[in-house]
Amino acid sequence: MVDETMQALFLSFVFGDEMEELGRRDRDRFLKNWANGILFLSTWRHGGTCTPQTTDPFKTPEHLHASAALQLPTTHPNESTAPHLVRRPPAMAAAHSGDYLGRFVAETGWYNEVVLSAVTPGNWWRGLPHPVQSWMRNCVGGYLLYFISGFLWCFVIYYWKRNAYIPKDSVPTNEAMRKQIIVASKAMPLYCALPTVSEYMIESGWTRCFFNISEVGVPMYFINLALYLIFVEFGIYWMHRELHDIKPLYKYLHATHHIYNKENTLSPFAGLAFHPVDGILQAIPHVFALFIFPTHFRTHIALLFVEAVWTANIHDCIHGKIWPVMGAGYHTIHHTTYRHNYGHYTIWMDWMFGTLREPVDILKNE
Ligand SMILES: [Zn+2]
Ligand SMILES: [Zn+2]
């Protein structure tokens, strides 16, 4: 026998808009007629019996009964509304999510298409699973970003504006930069596993990512963005601090980055010169934030880009003096004292937790 819940759900999906038009009494009659029709067709197709086959974890009999208890929704699923922001019966939310989540897959598929068709000869990559393509695209993007920003930065501060920002004796040797490039290049494929996994989780509907700003409105977009950034500041501060305080983590992971402990050994190329696990741990607050705050997908991707450029910036040893930005002046101190300035974009976390050291303090002491 056909499960009544299945009929009800099917009818609500197919005739959601029409349901609005009909009065409650007419609607009940309408549903009954349709239910009888479906019952007849199902019985005919399945030779007299029909039991729902549920392989989707969202569509277990428990969920179907739960949604039956809630009766039919009076509104049609709105395509422009994020499923996790609206209360819906679970089975309906899952079905709606399928369409909604397809937008994220289409978006990342488009990124893959643009990047991989430009750099990969032939079409062989098109047959690879979507997450593998995304990982390849992240790797290409990561290497391009690292080398283009690194070489441009070094060209400007060490050659074009030679000695304008960096004293002669603080310019790193080519050998120091070469070693940083090797460490970062080896780690890049593993770093890129993190955004690939986070994209997969977004595409699977496990996070609170939404697609269009109009779904939450501009004020909520900025409020959530601010909360996301505060969370990332807090998360990166403590992750970085623990990488120093927990001795095995420092010895086996973070020490790789701290071999650059003088001005003339630091360069923009040191920005991604980490043990791969260290780099992933320090970036992981960006992924955790997706589960806590409704986050605009493209903004999240843009913030990961900014992250890569920012880490190049804080290793160039040029003190920008823009309050409350934790620029290279602060981070150079971190590389020389090891106990201060663990923070990320701003000095606030170090100030709050008592580890801030101003570049001017160092000058006074000298
Ligand atoms: Zn450190
Ligand atoms: Zn550093």
What residue spans define the domains of the chain? 4-76, 101-365
Beta bridge partners of 295: 209
**How close is the Cα of 344 to the center of ligand 1, in Å?**
11
- Amino acid identity of 78? N
Ligand nearest to C-alpha 314: 2
Q: Is the pLDDT of residue 293 over 50?
A: yes
19 pLDDT band, cuts 50/70/90, is: very low
Which ligand lies nearest the alpha carbon of 254? 1
pLDDT at 97: 61
Please name the residues in contact with 30: beta carbons below 8 A apart, sequence gap of 6 or more.
15, 22
Taking the centre of ligand 2 as the mean of its atom positions, its distance from the CA of residue 235, in whole angstroms, is 16
Element (H, E) at 209: strand 209-210
pLDDT of residue 57 exceeding 80, the answer is no
Residue 165 alpha carbon to ligand 1 centre in Å: 24
Question: How far apart are the C-alpha atoms of 211 and 103, rounded to whole Å?
Answer: 7
Tokens 């759900």 locate to 9
Residues 339, 326: Cα–Cα separation, whole Å: 15
Ligand 1 centroid to Cα of residue 16, in Å, is 56
pLDDT of residue 255: 96
**Longest CA pairwise span in the chain (Å):** 91
**Cα-to-centroid distance, 342 and ligand 1 (Å):** 6
CB atoms within 10 A of CB 161: 11
Share above pLDDT 90 across residues of the chain, in percent, rounded to a whole number = 58
Residue range 72-103, pLDDT digits in tens: 333 333 444 455 554 443 333 443 466 899 99
| Across 10-22, average pLDDT | 38
Ligand nearest to the CA of 311: 2
- Higher pLDDT pick, 351 / 75: 351
CA of 339 to the centre of ligand 1 (A): 8
| Cα 306 to Cα 312: distance, rounded to the nearest angstrom | 10
Helix (H, G, I), strand (E, B) or coil at 42: helix
Q: Mean of the pLDDT values across residues 22-36?
A: 45
CA–centroid distance, 270 to ligand 2, in Å, is: 7
Whether the Cβ atoms of residue 136 and residue 126 lie closer than 8 Å to each other: no
Distance 314 CA to ligand 2 centre (A): 7
Ranking 118-122, 182-186, 256-260, 360-364 by mean pLDDT, the lowest is: 360-364
Do residues 340 and 334 make contact, with C-beta atoms less than 8 angstroms apart?
A: yes
Q: Is the pLDDT of residue 347 over 50?
A: yes
Task: For residues 216 and 85, give the distance between their C-alpha atoms in angstroms, rounded to a whole number.
Answer: 9
Q: Are strands 295-296 and 209-210 parallel, antiparallel or unpaired?
A: parallel
The CA 255 to ligand 1 mean position distance, Å, reads 8
